Amino acid sequence: MTPSTAASSFADDVRHSLQLAPRQLPSQYLYDALGSALFDAICELPWYGITRAENALLAGHRAEIFAELAPLTRIVELGPGDGRKLQTLVEGTSEPLTAHLVDVSAGALARAAYTLSDAPNVAVVTHQASFEDGLDAITRDLRRPAIAAARVRHTHPDGRTLVLLLGSNIGNFDALAAAALLDRICALLAPGDALLMGADLVKPERDLLLAYNDPLGVSGAFNLNVLLRINRELDGNFDLRAFRHRSVWNPACSRMEMFLVATRRQHVRVEAIGLELELEEGEAIWTESSYKYTAEGLTDQLERAGFGPVAQWIDRDAAFALTLARTI
């Protein structure tokens, strides 16, 4: 994706989504350089257990995963963040690997590539793109004639592929979009390849509220930063002090919802997209949904997308599941 395309889709998405009822902003835009750094800080918070639980599961089961998938030569990670999840995983093998990293954030890609430069057996290829566009680009690469012929014979002369969708990144997709993403991943893979998915499970509401509205205020800063980004990149005049962070658990939809709530009636202008907004006091901009799953819900969803045998490891304390699904 060229920077100009990225910039114009940000402008289009902001113009469109801020005029919806209720007002919204797509959560992918939370991750500019500062947003990615704030998210990395969230992962260090004692109240946000996803990252620690997942790392422990990856470290505990990586040998098993590599043994199961041998010969594994290619890893595609959707949303690598700072690269530490993948770093933990690849400590389980000394075989040569190519890692394709797909992320909307250039800063995250640079940091992930740097983290992985410690692993001598891993060659990194970065794709600054949405998960969908990145998968399309990688699929085009993989459909070279020699590989296409091998796929028809259902063999793996060039090794197997493992797609990683970790950190509960799946949680930002609603049911339809998640199904479409899993279908797309399944279609990219050849028989014997696999998807490793890390997903946060439903847990007590008080734990969820602490994870998404932490006492240190990092979650709030992470959320508010999207307004700062609009001010900087689209010449907006959002007053960050006139909004507060709100997180709520929506049990009917099994998701955490994150909002920016206007603390007073106000007029906002976003110059670069010619947008004028009148916000009422208490009016909310919906900035993120984080869906929470059940262990069975995850395996059902993977089977519906066409995956075959599934292995699952669960951290009961953190209520987090790591699920490995093979293709048939």
Pairing of strands 122-128, 72-78: unpaired
Rounded CA separation 170/195 (Å): 12
Residue type, 20: L
Provide the minimum distance between the beta carbon of 264 and ligand AVJ in the complex, in angstroms, as a whole number: 25
Count of residues making up the chain: 328
Q: Give which of 189, 126, 143, 128 is closest to 163, Cα–Cα.
A: 189
Provide the minimum distance between the beta carbon of 48 and ligand AVJ in the complex, in angstroms, as a whole number: 7
Closest to ligand AVJ by CB, 258 vs 302, is: 258
Rounded CA separation 237/243 (Å): 13
Closest to ligand AVJ by CB, 87 vs 168, is: 168
Provide the minimum distance between the beta carbon of 76 and ligand AVJ in the complex, in angstroms, as a whole number: 18
Closest to ligand AVJ by CB, 69 vs 104, is: 104
DSSP track, 111-151: HHHHHHTT-TTEEEEEEES-HHHHHHHHHHHHT-HHHHHHH
Provide the minimum distance between the beta carbon of 159 and ligand AVJ in the complex, in angstroms, as a whole number: 29
Contacts of residue 301, Cβ cutoff 8 Å, sequence gap at least 6: 178, 179, 182, 293
Residue with smallest beta-carbon separation from ligand AVJ: 290
Provide the minimum distance between the beta carbon of 75 and ligand AVJ in the complex, in angstroms, as a whole number: 19
- Tokens representing 173 are 């997709």
Closest to ligand AVJ by CB, 105 vs 169, is: 169
Provide the minimum distance between the beta carbon of 272 and ligand AVJ in the complex, in angstroms, as a whole number: 26
Closest to ligand AVJ by CB, 212 vs 307, is: 212
Contacts of residue 265, Cβ cutoff 8 Å, sequence gap at least 6: 278, 279, 280, 281
Closest to ligand AVJ by CB, 66 vs 212, is: 212
Give residue for tokens 């008080």.
Answer: 206
Binding residues for ligand AVJ, rule: CB under 6 A, are: 42, 50, 167-169, 171-172, 212, 219, 258, 288, 290
